[in-house]
Chain A
């Protein structure tokens, strides 16, 4: 196992542990407003200080972390489900359907990823679930292309041609051979997408198109604290650095995974 996988896994474990044990680690609730303690500097009572509404920054960080990890996994799972279904069906059926689905994929990939996510999120209306759907729709074409390529490779394998000749129904073929054959590559792609997913959802939150207040979400928390950036930089720095560390953890692991895959040939 390479150094980057280990470093990434360690970082991720620390973050996940903090997110899981968070409620027991921090005393204050993430949305307890306290006017007397507005913009308090880091201290023993509030390790990372408080924000413009007197809410404990650390507790919002931990609560936002739980959300971020779930959101990242949720977005990739959604992109996986949509993209892989489209890709495998295109590869299995072929013909006009394949052509149409792949041109649609090309068209979606013709938009800069974040631009597409922003446009979709703006059209759906601002909310966390809409932002997740928007980012997932932007990531899905990558899964579709990969799944189709895998499906075509699998489709030409002798045992699959034999199964088709023996009259195995398409639904069965899809699950038993195509999905199973394509899975290893697709899972690697999914791990590569986690960092991107978190980064994009945070960007939408930062632009006001994701999670809405008072929900604790790192991107939205960061943009909410911009007005007090000079007097209380810790309020924006904490969620900003947290996004960086979470994405870094996933990207370190993805780098290690890609290196392992490439060296295997």
Chain B
């Protein structure tokens, strides 16, 4: 049932996916100058340039070029880095787990902060706790990720020396990756010390990303909780003499989460953008760091490939979140699926 829904949703996203590919393809055409000349550098002869232009199909019409590009991408070929001359698919696959691990840790941390905060605020709307949390949340979404990152790094890392401020592992903990996820690898090896090391490295960058997500999500969930509190089934529960706390936890939270899910999807995209800044500050060897390095090296194929992968993650997560909403609320299946 859910698999069918997933496939149907994916199919309906196809025109948009194709356009995303067109846009990423167009990125390389916005760049001033000829891609073949850029690739070869200033010392190339005109014959070399002409040969590469032919090889890159630059002498063909744009539609042919795009079809070739789309075919490559669909076969999993993301092009070759101008800097390392190695396939970008390998480079991206090596960096992807670091970014996914960071994003998952940040999401878990954000939910752990936001759900209790929203419940506290909804327990007494308009009370001082609600107001205080509101101000904290507005401040939270106004903080530039790179400022939070540098401040945490300076205070908790460099000054108090509590936590590591760069990379994913200490030098002693460096081992060949099994899955590429530091936390999972540590568990697979059954080494508590490795796990502790990985989590310590993960905490600060995840906190930076979580602060933004937690701030916006807590306000959203609070509003949704208060709306659900007006519904008849909650009034019935109250009439049965249940306490406000029990009603919030058992009869409201699940219903209130459903309408907030699409917005979590959008905010996940903001978090991916924030990951680029956070990874830069924490030297986190992920996709964001790769993007920034590619920009400094003027490695346009790498920028293109990373942009495509970021968009793919964002689209997949959005669809996944829709699936979670359908699972939480069966009523949506009839309206959306038919």
Interface residues in chain A, defined as those with a beta carbon under 8 Å from any beta carbon in chain B? 4, 103-104, 106-108, 110-120, 122-125, 195, 199, 202-203, 206-209, 219, 222-223, 226, 229-230, 233, 236, 240-241, 243-244, 247-248, 251-252, 255
Contact = CB atoms under 8 A, between A and B. Distances in A.
A255 to B, nearest CB: 5
A118 B295 contact: yes
Interface string B168-192: 0000000000000000000000000
14 contacts: A107-B23, A112-B273, A114-B270, A114-B273, A114-B277, A115-B273, A115-B276, A119-B24, A206-B144, A207-B280, A226-B150, A240-B146, A243-B147, A244-B144
Interface in B123-179: 134-135, 138-139, 141-147, 150-151, 154, 158
A248 B296 contact: no
Interface string B15-41: 111011011100110111000000000
Interface string B241-270: 000000000000000000000000000011
A115 B30 CA distance: 16
Contact of B19 (A104, A243, A251): A104
Interface of B: 15-17, 19-20, 22-24, 27-28, 30-32, 134-135, 138-139, 141-147, 150-151, 154, 158, 269-274, 276-277, 280, 291-292, 295-296, 300, 303-304, 307, 310-311, 314-315
Contacts of A4: 134-135, 138
A251 B138 contact: yes
Contacts of A233: 154
B274 A114 contact: yes
Contacts of B274: 114
Contacts of B142: 195, 199, 244, 247-248, 251
A201 to B, nearest CB: 11
A144 B270 CA distance: 19
Contact of B147 (A119, A124, A229, A240): A240
Contacts of A125: 31-32
Nearest to B314: A112
Nearest to A236: B150
A115 B310 contact: yes
Nearest to B273: A114
A111 B147 contact: no
B179 to A, nearest CB: 24
B154 A108 contact: no
B276 A114 contact: yes
* Most B-side CB within 10 Å, residue of A117, A118, A240: A118
Contacts of A243: 144, 147
Given A110-B17, A230-B158, 8 more contacts: A103-B16, A115-B310, A118-B295, A123-B303, A244-B144, A251-B138, A251-B142, A255-B138
A25 B269 CA distance: 41
Contacts of A113: 269-270, 273
A236 B261 CA distance: 37
Nearest to A106: B16
Contacts of A207: 276-277, 280, 292, 295
A118 B276 contact: yes
Nearest to A119: B307
A54 B154 CA distance: 23
A4 B145 CA distance: 23
Contacts of B273: 112-115, 117-118, 203
A114 B291 CA distance: 12
Contact of B311 (A112, A209, A230, A241): A112
A247 to B, nearest CB: 4
Contact of B150 (A195, A208, A240): A240
B21 to A, nearest CB: 9
B30 A107 contact: no
Contacts of A114: 270, 272-274, 276-277
A107 B304 CA distance: 15
